[in-house]
Amino acid sequence: SQTIHQWPATLVQPVGSPLSLECTVEGTSNPNLYWYRQAAGRGLQLLFYSVGIGQISSEVPQNLSASRPQDRQFILSSKKLLLSDSGFYLCAWSRDTQYFGPGTRLLVL
């Protein structure tokens, strides 16, 4: 069966510091991968998606970037965090149905 991991589970970072969140998927190959942000516990905003290694599509201009160095690894990064980057970050994979990871809670102070 397939599983999806995210780490860290929670993160508190100062404004201006760098960020790296990691997502890995097991039990499947060549999945579509997605990064979402959920603010205030409600709506989901699609940030990035990837259909293959090195292929990244950005949905919204922002302070964040994404990379896919391996087939089942998806990384969300920032060089300098802003207060507005705080939120709950969710990674998902799909072939047809999207399945979500447990999420990372990021608090930027």
The residue ranges that bind another protein (CB under 8 A) are 6, 32, 34, 41-44, 46, 49-51, 57, 88, 90, 92, 94, 96-103, 105
The β-bridge relationship of strands 10-13 and 65-70 is unpaired
Least Å distance between CB 9 and another protein?
A: 9
Least Å distance between CB 67 and another protein?
A: 16
Query: Is 71 or 88 the residue whose CB approaches another protein more closely?
Result: 88
Query: Is 18 or 30 the residue whose CB approaches another protein more closely?
Result: 30
Query: Is 71 or 103 the residue whose CB approaches another protein more closely?
Result: 103
Instruction: Report the b/e string of 3-37 with b at 16+ CB within 10 A.
Output: ebebeeeebebeeeeebebebbbeebeebebbbbb
